[in-house]
Structure 1
Amino acid sequence: MLVEKNVPLQAFNSFHIVAKAHALVRIASEADLHALLADPELRASPKFVLGGGSNIVLTGDVKALVLKVELMGRRLLMETDKAFIVQAGAGESWHELVAWTLAQGYPGLENLALIPGTVGAAPVQNIGAYGVELQDRFDSLDAIDLQTGQVFTLHAAQCAFGYRDSVFKHGAGAAAVPDGAVSAGAVAGGHQVLGLKDRALILRVRFALPKSWKPVLGYADLDKKMAEHQCAHPTAQQIFDWVCEIRRAKLPDPQVIGNVGSFFKNPTVTPEQCVDIIARDPKVVHYHLADGGVKLAAGWLIDSCGWRGKSVGQAGVYEKQALVLVNRGGVDSPFGATGGEVMTLARAIQTSVYERFGIRLEPEPVVV
């Protein structure tokens, strides 16, 4: 185990914001973690877990010890009557895992193609796209308590999945999860289980991919692809290819233009609130949910406030999709967008949307 000092993080975050880690350790095995936790000084240090860096905004140098997750490996763990159980290391590329599962004949993740980041970050964010969320295909995960060194397993209910949310996004005391969760608190003998942010590091994740596969459709972009290809019953591979085409047309490649994908969550409102907004603007893009709520398209709200293409310093709103904030300074430039510029732009957008629609947009990325 090597502790690297003053490590540049520009290449380790997809916004390509210039910042440094005061100290960084690469975690390529559980042995690395046990060695780290055996060191009294490192064990006591505040820690920041870094996967692919595709969901963070760095507003300065990171003083906490950065744990760069590089745990690899993917395999079919077992089969049940209903599903293929696939396991992948937390450091694996998410998109490469999706492509690999299809190549092996295990469909189910195709709607989540081309989402940037690592496997370990996927349950933290409960990633989702085109009608599928990670929780829909989740089996379980293994994580390690960064205070005790104990490895534990969580199943779906214990992860407290929500819309772009999980137990891993909340600190102790910030958000309780369902009783019986095998978290750090439960392992220690506690009855109430609290958030695991900065307390646990995900080691590997298991997915249950259905043998009785059915396509998940119903989104306008996918409907257009079906009509374009005159295909009423697409295969999983076709959906994968279409999702990749759609995302590439809408979203910038973070290796070319720094970004974290969708910057804001799509807000959910009551049917009454939606009726009120439609009365003011009949063109509002919205989707009715199974629970009776209505999801609004955050990108449409931002676009309607005139933000598409606008900038604050080197931070800008992407011309092809208003939901995406970008670094206009170049991925290798030392003079690109700062985290402060990104957040100033984000707050200005939030204010505009609230003043016009009465809706508070919530950012997706973690601000560090």
Structure 2
Amino acid sequence: MTSPAPDLSVEHGVNLCGANTFGLPSTAATLVRIRSPQDVRRVVDHPVYGVARKLILGGGSNLLLTRNLDEVVLSIEIDGIRVVEDGPDATLIEAGAGVVWHDLVRWTLDHGHAGLENLALIPGTVGAAPVQNIGAYGLEVGERIATVHGVDLITGRAVEITRDQCRFGYRDSIFKRELAGKTVITHVRFRLPKPWQPVLGYQDLERRCQETGIAQPDARTIFDWVCDIRRAKLPDPAQIGNAGSFFKNPVVTAEQCRDITGRDPHLVFYPLDDGHCKLAAGWLIDACGWKGKSLGRAGVHPRQALVLVNLGGATGGEVLTLARAIQESVYGRFGIRLEPEPVVV
């Protein structure tokens, strides 16, 4: 019998099929809805939940559920967006961790604050954004984060983590390493610099500039372009279950890149400032013949090989089996190990 949890919203035997964008079957034995930092502290102080294993659940867009969950699932539902400071050099905006990421991007533009438009339509929530250091079309969210606020799951104390302390990397942060499962992110503050400068160094955006004749698009135009491009390339999780890009684009040395292009001259890659090269994982998967293929009820999207999809009724195990088959195939041909983006539970 579970101890009572006054002031906490607790549910048992919760079906999580609708709480993960893959639409995978899983049941949470205990789910606590977190709607404020105080709720996290109540969990920490609880005689049962405080010592139990916990799993933090945001929008479920970066999660591969392969089993039912015995952990106490903390569903992060903290809302609210506000301008903290609007100064001459930057605007500081705070958003609750449960805010839908795309809603925040749209809100900033609707209120005249540009700077996040390249990250439009990325699935997930604000609290998950710094964990994954989400990025798209030439911008990573770490470039716009000022501080991340949360609660320590051991002590219940409030924590404030600066951008430098987050140690952002490509799809990486301290929240995926030292602080993984130890800190619940409750709010994120974003610094949007002034004067605003468009980020247009991505091929698809450069092509739009050429096609439209708009050399200096405003933020709203970039937002609209990014939405159009993403909708054309990536399937809507509301239509077919998926978690967006399933694999990270591997980063290799220039020598490794030359070796691969010597054998496969059509390899798609992007030189990085530090001399390394980022390979297009989607191209590697497509080159191995996986686009549009399936194993059981899990498949590779026919328009974008980087996206694995639930064809209907798939289990997490089926998606994982497909992912491992793709990894083996790419390693066998290119000697490159693909790393999944979603957290496998």
Residue 153, structure 1, aligned to residue 167, structure 2:
no
> Matched residues in 1 for 2:61 and 2:285: separation?
22
AA paired with 1:353? V
Alignment-derived partner of residue 269 in structure 1? 252
Alignment-derived partner of residue 68 in structure 2? 61
Alignment-derived partner of residue 235 in structure 1? 218
Partner SS, residue 91 of structure 1: coil
Give deviations 1:46-75, integer Å, cap 9, x for gaps.
110000000000000011000000000001
> Matched residues in 1 for 2:199 and 2:228: separation?
17
Structure 1 residue 82 displacement after superposition: 1.4
Q: Could you tell me whether the CA contact under 8 Å between 2:58 and 2:124 is conserved in 1?
A: yes
Q: Which of residues 148, 171, 174 in structure 2 aligns to 1:167?
A: 174
Alignment-derived partner of residue 329 in structure 2? 352
Residue 132, structure 1, aligned to residue 115, structure 2:
no
AA paired with 1:10? C
Give deviations 1:213-233, integer Å, cap 9, x for gaps.
111112221122112211111
TM-score normalised by L of structure 1: 0.91
Residue 204, structure 1, aligned to residue 211, structure 2:
no
Alignment-derived partner of residue 309 in structure 2? 326
Alignment-derived partner of residue 192 in structure 1? none
Structure 2: gaps spanning 5 or more residues: 1-7
Structure 1: gaps spanning 5 or more residues: 171-194, 330-335
Q: Could you tell me whether the CA contact under 8 Å between 2:40 and 2:184 is conserved in 1?
A: no
> % of aligned pairs identical?
59
Structure 1 residue 34 displacement after superposition: 2.5
Q: Could you tell me whether the CA contact under 8 Å between 2:153 and 2:183 is conserved in 1?
A: yes
Structure 1 residue 243 displacement after superposition: 0.4
Partner SS, residue 33 of structure 2: strand
Partner SS, residue 98 of structure 1: helix
Alignment RMSD:
0.9
> Matched residues in 1 for 2:227 and 2:305: separation?
19
Partner SS, residue 185 of structure 2: strand
Partner SS, residue 63 of structure 1: strand
Alignment of 1:1-368 (within 5 A): 1-170=8-177, 195-329=178-312, 336-368=313-345
Give deviations 1:288-327, integer Å, cap 9, x for gaps.
1111111110000000000001111111000000000000
> Matched residues in 1 for 2:228 and 2:169: separation?
27
Partner SS, residue 67 of structure 2: coil
> Matched residues in 2 for 1:124 and 1:234: separation?
30
TM-score normalised by L of structure 2: 0.97
Partner SS, residue 95 of structure 1: helix
AA paired with 1:269? V
AA paired with 1:17? L
Q: Could you tell me whether the CA contact under 8 Å between 2:130 and 2:142 is conserved in 1?
A: yes
Structure 1 residue 245 displacement after superposition: 0.3
> Matched residues in 1 for 2:41 and 2:322: separation?
41
Structure 1 residue 40 displacement after superposition: 1.2
Query: Which is further off, 30-39 or 337-346?
Result: 30-39
> Matched residues in 1 for 2:162 and 2:43: separation?
27
Structure 1 residue 37 displacement after superposition: 2.3
AA paired with 1:290? D
Partner SS, residue 85 of structure 1: strand
